[in-house]
Amino acid sequence: MSDTPATPAEKAPAVGSPQPGPEPGGGTFGEFKRAGGALYRATEIDGRLLGLMIALAVAWILFDIASRVFGQGGDSIFGGSFLTPRNLFNLSVQTASVAVMATGMVLIIVSRNIDLSVGSLLGFLAMVMAIVQKEILPDLIGFDHSLTWIIALTVGLAFGAAIGAGQGFLVAYLGIPAFIVTLGGMLVWRGGAFLLASGRTIAPLDPNFSAIGGGTQGSLGRLGMDLGVGSATLSWILGIIVVIGLVLLVVMARRRRQAFDFPTRPMWAEVLIVGVGSLLVLGAVWLVNAYEWPIRVAARYAEANGIEVPEGGLILSTGIAYPVLIMIAVAAVMTWIARRRQFGRYVFAIGGNPEAAELSGINVRRTIMLTFALIGVLVAISAAITSGRLDAATNALGQWNELFVIAAAVIGGTSFAGGIGTIPGAILGALFMQTLQSGMVLIGFDTAQQNIVVGIVLVIAVGIDTAYRRRTAS
Partner 1 sequence: MTAEQTTTSTPETAAARPRPPIDSSGTPLVEMRNIKVAFGGVHAVDDVSLDLYPGEVVGLVGGNGAGKSTLMKCLSGAHPPDSGQILVDGHRAEIHNPRDAKKYNIETIYQTLALADNQDAPANMFLGRELKTRMGNLDDASMEAATREVIARLNPNFQNFKSPVKSLSGGQRQAVAIARAVHFNARILIMDEPTAALGPAETAQVRDLIRQLEKEGIGIFLISHDIHDVFDLSHRIAVMYHGKIVGVVNKDEVTPDDVLGMIIMGQALEDVTTPGAAAQA
Binding site for partner 1 (CB under 8 A): 4-7, 9-11, 256-257, 259-260, 262, 336, 339-342, 345, 348-349, 351-353, 355-363, 419-420, 473-474
Dist. CA 338–CA 110, nearest whole Å:
11
What does DSSP assign to residue 134? Answer: I
Least distance in angstroms from the C-beta of 28 to partner 1: 32
**Closer of 125 and 420 to partner 1 (Cβ):** 420
What does DSSP assign to residue 447? Answer: H
**Closer of 258 and 305 to partner 1 (Cβ):** 258
Cis bond before residue 13 (omega within 30° of 0): no
Least distance in angstroms from the C-beta of 141 to partner 1: 37
Residue type, 462: V
**Closer of 112 and 145 to partner 1 (Cβ):** 112
Distance (Å) of CA 128 to CA 57, 152, 214: 39, 8, 20
Q: Which of 391, 419, 405 is nearest to 203 (CA)?
A: 391
**Closer of 300 and 340 to partner 1 (Cβ):** 340
Least distance in angstroms from the C-beta of 154 to partner 1: 24
Dist. CA 175–CA 169, nearest whole Å:
9
**Closer of 47 and 218 to partner 1 (Cβ):** 47
| Chain-centre distance for alpha carbon 448 | 25
DSSP track, 380-436: HHHHHHHHHHHTSB-TTTTTTHHHHHHHHHHHTT--TTSS---HHHHHHHHHHHHHH
Residues 6 or more apart whose Cβ sits within 8 Å of residue 364? 172, 346, 350, 354, 357, 358
Least distance in angstroms from the C-beta of 341 to partner 1: 7
Q: Which of 207, 210, 216, 385 is nearest to 300 (CA)?
A: 216
**Closer of 96 and 368 to partner 1 (Cβ):** 368
Least distance in angstroms from the C-beta of 349 to partner 1: 4
Q: Which of 467, 327, 421, 474 is nearest to 114 (CA)?
A: 421
**Closer of 84 and 335 to partner 1 (Cβ):** 335
**Closer of 304 and 359 to partner 1 (Cβ):** 359
**Closer of 181 and 337 to partner 1 (Cβ):** 337
Least distance in angstroms from the C-beta of 467 to partner 1: 18
Least distance in angstroms from the C-beta of 425 to partner 1: 15
What does the angle CA 236 – CA 51 – CA 375 come to, to the nearest 5 degrees?
70
Q: Are 338 and 344 in contact (CB under 8 A)?
A: yes
Residue type, 218: G
Dist. CA 129–CA 137, nearest whole Å:
10
Dist. CA 401–CA 375, nearest whole Å:
13
Least distance in angstroms from the C-beta of 474 to partner 1: 4
Least distance in angstroms from the C-beta of 355 to partner 1: 7
- Any idea of the CA torsion for 344, 345, 346, 352, to the nearest 10 degrees? 110
What residue spans of 353-397 are helical by DSSP H?
354-359, 364-390
Dist. CA 316–CA 305, nearest whole Å:
14
Least distance in angstroms from the C-beta of 100 to partner 1: 23
Dist. CA 28–CA 287, nearest whole Å:
40
What does DSSP assign to residue 206? Answer: P
**Closer of 257 and 300 to partner 1 (Cβ):** 257
Least distance in angstroms from the C-beta of 162 to partner 1: 25
Residue type, 304: A
**Closer of 2 and 395 to partner 1 (Cβ):** 2
